[in-house]
Amino acid sequence: MNMSITMAEMSFRTPLLTGSGTFGYGDEFKSLVDYNTLGGIVTKSVSLEPRAGNKPPRICETSGGIINSIGLANPGVDSFIANKVSLLPIDETRVFLSVVGNSVEDFLAVVDKFETIADISGYELNVSCPNVKRGGLEIGGDQDAVAAIVKAVRAITKRFISVKLTPNQTSIAPMAQAAVDAGADALTLVNTLIGMAIDTEKQRPLLGNVTGGFSGPPLKPVALAKVWQAAQVVDVPIWASGGMVNGIDCIEFLLAGASGLQLGSVLFTDPFSPQRVLNEMEEYCSHHGVAEISELVGALKV
């Protein structure tokens, strides 16, 4: 069975990737994950300046999933380059650097510095974090702002660019189209939904930031619909992100039109999930006479 897949002229060993912020910078999972099971990893988002993140608590459980308000805590691009790049599993799998910023200039400055790092497969532009006051939703909900960022980054790099969009918008199609028209090679769909949870004994929010990003299995139907809707209007590869915990979840996303599958919150409850999920996908393929996993992409019969 051939589990490899080609996207934007790049070959991936499998369609499985790890979602930004759920796999650190790759080094933490080295003893837990067999990189042969992955097509690539996406790093935690990196910004121009170091970010301390939001007030704790920053993560809580809720019905069927989790809400996080990490607030994009990260060491900033210079410290990342000095201390983290050498730890990236570049020899083991494809590495995509996630970039976040408050403005076009921020994105450009980070990507410009990343261009000096050899053997990186590309970038994921995070224009969709719900946990920051600037740079997140204001940008992610504004087509012109997203297009301006993608266009500017496109002009300074030949590397692959995926643009990660927010599900916190009624229709994903115009935003997907705007990102692709501006030069995106792929789309990552989707980031977290805005969520909130309350401790009724204390009558206080469970998160220091009050609201956060809701992820995990309940996000799956929303993400699936966004992937399907975007796949109707754009002709670039789509990386699915949202609630996948098993191989059948992944098959659903492939059928809806995704060719990359990012595991996220499931890595916290089951760090070994990439191997299990890949086995489950292979099992599905053998039961359904699928010789090449790529046959399933967009194969939904409607």
Ligand X SMILES: Cc1cc2nc3c(=O)[nH]c(=O)nc-3n(C[C@H](O)[C@H](O)[C@H](O)COP(=O)(O)O)c2cc1C
The residues that are catalytic are: 129
Task: Indicate whether 242 belongs to the interface with ligand X (CB under 6 A).
Answer: yes
Site string for ligand X, 10-49 (x = CB under 6 A): ---------xxxx---------------------xx----
Task: Indicate whether 166 belongs to the interface with ligand X (CB under 6 A).
Answer: no
**Minimum CB separation from ligand X for residue 175, in Å?**
15
- The one among 54, 98, 121, 294 contacting ligand X by CB under 6 A: 98
**Minimum CB separation from ligand X for residue 166, in Å?**
10
Site string for ligand X, 176-195 (x = CB under 6 A): ---------------xx---
First to last CA, the chain: 26
Task: Indicate whether 126 belongs to the interface with ligand X (CB under 6 A).
Answer: yes
Site string for ligand X, 196-215 (x = CB under 6 A): -------------------x
- The one among 5, 16, 41, 70 contacting ligand X by CB under 6 A: 70
DSSP state of 163: E
Q: How far is CA 66 from CA 9, 179, 207, in A?
A: 35, 28, 11
Mark the segment that binds ligand X (CB under 6 A) among 75-83, 136-144, 236-244, 276-284. Answer: 236-244
Residue of 198, 232, 192, 183 whose CA lies nearest to 215: 192
- Name the closest residue to ligand X (Cβ): 21
Residue of 182, 172, 170, 177 whose CA lies nearest to 240: 172
- The one among 7, 16, 72, 165 contacting ligand X by CB under 6 A: 72
Cβ-based neighbours of 239, under 8 Å, separated by 6 or more: 17, 124, 162, 186, 187, 188, 189, 258, 259, 260, 261, 262
d(CA 123, CA 7): 14
Long-range contacts of 59-65 (CB under 8 A, 24+ apart): 59/207, 59/212, 60/197, 60/206, 60/207, 60/212, 62/195, 62/197, 62/206, 62/214, 63/218, 64/216, 64/217, 64/218, 65/214, 65/215, 65/216, 65/217, 65/218, 65/219, 65/243, 65/265
Q: Which is nearer to ligand X, 224 or 290 (CB)?
A: 224
d(CA 61, CA 13): 33
Task: Indicate whether 273 belongs to the interface with ligand X (CB under 6 A).
Answer: no
Task: Indicate whether 244 belongs to the interface with ligand X (CB under 6 A).
Answer: yes
Mark the segment that binds ligand X (CB under 6 A) among 80-88, 148-156, 237-245, 291-299. Answer: 237-245
Which residues of this protein are in contact with ligand X, per CB under 6 A?
19-22, 44-45, 59, 66, 68, 70, 72, 98, 126, 129, 164, 191-192, 215-216, 219, 241-244, 264-265
